[in-house]
Amino acid sequence: MLSARVNFAALVLAVVSFESVAAIKLARFVSEQEPFAGQACFGAVVEMHQGIPVAIANLGNRDPRFCQPQSVTVEPQLIADALLTDPQFDDLIVEPILADARSSRILPPIAYSQQQLDERQRLVIGVGFNYREHLEETGDYSGSGPLLLFAKPVLPTGPYQSVRTGAATDVLLDYEVELAMVLLEDIDLNAPPRPQQLYPSVAFALANDLSDRVPIILNPDSGYTQGKSDPGFMPLGPWLRLGREGFADEQGNWQIDANISLGVTKAKSGEYILEQDASLMQMRFDPYQIIQVMATRYQEGKNQCMRDRHGNAHWVLPTDGIVPAGSILLTGTAGGTAIQAPSIWQKIGLFFEGGFSIDNARKEFLEDQFVGRERLGYLQDGDFVSANIQGLGQQAFAIELDSNQPVTQGPLPLPDCD
């Protein structure tokens, strides 16, 4: 009987503990209050407007570890500690976030350095074709095509910071709203965790996997990293939520039926166009299943290498099988992107126009995309992107296409990762 009472008490405590973290929406922001003025602090979002934080309680008032210089990288354990903090905020200073300051004050909720990326202490792994409609946009109507995995070696940027890239004559900039999973512990692909182990040790956030389609069109086998690795191509945030917080049930079954959407306010017309609209339940592979796909490919020796914009080679999966804590997994985007695969008849026409050369046919298709870029919905200079995942907030950022910013567009040689 005593044992039963102890177990019941433990169950009650577990439920209370679970509920205690349910309110935490963990943001990282620049404080304006002494003694932390100018520092990057973790805080709990206590007030928002349409998913945009307008007031944040500074956790540094409770524990100074939660405030650091902006140049300091963020350790995953610090994020875990902040997510599990006491949700009673009476002892904290609440800082207002004014609209004209949000782009500079609200930071990406995790920060790492270029050196950590280069030395593979942090990984960003992207996933493609995880929604049926987006799979169909690529020309695969089977609904069962394999997941695409690629390396996206970029630093996260804030959710309200403008995205700047090359000239409209050089890039075909596409949007991809996605659910991002931040690892708070290492994952060993030789012995991947069960769902019950995975979700308590990760956090989720809103992300945008921005892409230049030019190298992807020219080299669909290995151009993804090249087309997705420009600085600024991963707005992240505005906040993190603990993975066990309603995303999966006690058995680890994915259960969050949250809306994921993206719209663009066009600079030329001022028209707002809803481009992407789906549910997270429509993912073909939930985050746990994506980890299983990664583990299977690693164990079968099916790792792949791609080059970034600078020609640097990147293995998609870690060569030692350990995905380090602090890494980010992007789980794929829904249908509605600007890129649309040509029909079978269009492919035949492009093949003829290209002189029966597949490479030339791709160049013809690329030219068609540039000619119809506005009609197709590629992002233009001055466009304003709004992206949302229910429960994870809203991003809002402007697009700046700069003719003085060079980009590498030709297909790079196949990488030698040895």
Q: What is the pLDDT of residues 75-117, one digit of tens each?
A: 999 999 999 998 888 899 999 999 999 999 999 999 999 999 9
Block residue for tokens 């890039």: 171
Three-state SS for 185?
Answer: coil
State which of 55, 75, 105 marks the end of a domain.
105
Q: Which residues contact 405 (CB under 8 A, 6 or more apart)?
A: 164, 165, 166, 167
Range of the domain at 272: 118-338+377-401
State which of 81, 105, 129 marks the end of a domain.
105
pLDDT at residue 34 above 70? yes
Fill in the DSSP letter of residue 341.
Answer: P
Does residue 55 contact residue 97 with C-beta atoms inside 8 Å?
yes
**Shared domain check, 193 and 133:** yes
C-alpha 179/C-alpha 326 separation (Å) is: 16
State which of 55, 82, 105 marks the end of a domain.
105
C-alpha 149/C-alpha 240 separation (Å) is: 23
**Shared domain check, 79 and 174:** no
C-alpha 174/C-alpha 209 separation (Å) is: 9
C-alpha 164/C-alpha 378 separation (Å) is: 14
Alpha-carbon distance values, 159 to 184, 188, 357, 387 (Å):
21, 30, 42, 9
Q: For residue 10, is it within any domain?
A: yes
Give me the helices (H) in 304-357, please.
Answer: 344-353
Edge-to-edge, what's the strand order for the sheet holding 177-183?
148-151, 124-128, 328-333, 177-183, 202-208, 241-242
Q: For residue 351, is it within any domain?
A: no
C-alpha 412/C-alpha 308 separation (Å) is: 9
What's the pTM value of the predicted model, to 2 decimals? 0.92
**Shared domain check, 317 and 175:** yes
**Shared domain check, 288 and 153:** yes
C-alpha 161/C-alpha 384 separation (Å) is: 11
Q: How confident is the model at residue 418 (pLDDT cuts 50, 70, 90)?
A: low
Q: For residue 409, is it within any domain?
A: no
Least confident piece of the model among 21-25, 81-85, 229-233, 234-238: 21-25
Percent of the chain at pLDDT > 90 equals 72
Tell me which amino acid residue 409 is.
Q
Fill in the DSSP letter of residue 240.
Answer: B
Q: For residue 367, is it within any domain?
A: no
Does residue 185 contact residue 163 with C-beta atoms inside 8 Å?
no
Q: For residue 32, is it within any domain?
A: yes
**Shared domain check, 241 and 387:** yes
**Shared domain check, 93 and 181:** no
Q: What is the pLDDT of residues 345-386, one digit of tens each?
A: 777 787 777 787 888 888 999 999 999 999 999 999 999 999
Q: What average pLDDT does range 274-285 have in this prediction?
A: 96
**Shared domain check, 382 and 319:** yes
Q: For residue 363, is it within any domain?
A: no
Q: How confident is the model at residue 23 (pLDDT cuts 50, 70, 90)?
A: low
**Shared domain check, 230 and 123:** yes
DSSP H or E segment with residue 392: none
**Shared domain check, 73 and 127:** no
**Shared domain check, 138 and 83:** no
Considering its fold, how many domains does the chain have in total? 2
Q: For residue 356, is it within any domain?
A: no
Q: How confident is the model at residue 414 (pLDDT cuts 50, 70, 90)?
A: low
Cross-strand pairs, 259:
279
The torsion angles phi and psi of 15, rounded to 5 degrees, stand at -65, -45
Q: What average pLDDT does range 110-125 have in this prediction?
A: 96
133 vs 22: which has the higher pLDDT: 133
**Shared domain check, 87 and 169:** no
CATH number of the domain enclosing 184:
3.90.850.10
Q: What is the mean pLDDT of the chain?
A: 89
Taking alpha carbons only, the member of 344, 319, 388, 368 closest to residue 175 is: 388
C-alpha 82/C-alpha 27 separation (Å) is: 10
**Shared domain check, 56 and 167:** no
Q: For residue 246, is it within any domain?
A: yes
Alpha-carbon distance values, 233 to 35, 91, 211 (Å):
33, 37, 7
Q: What is the pLDDT of residues 46-77, one digit of tens each?
A: 999 999 999 999 999 999 999 999 999 999 99
Other beta carbons within 10 Å of 349? 16
Helix 344-353 to helix 358-371 angle, to the nearest 10 degrees? 110
Q: What average pLDDT does range 245-256 have in this prediction?
A: 81
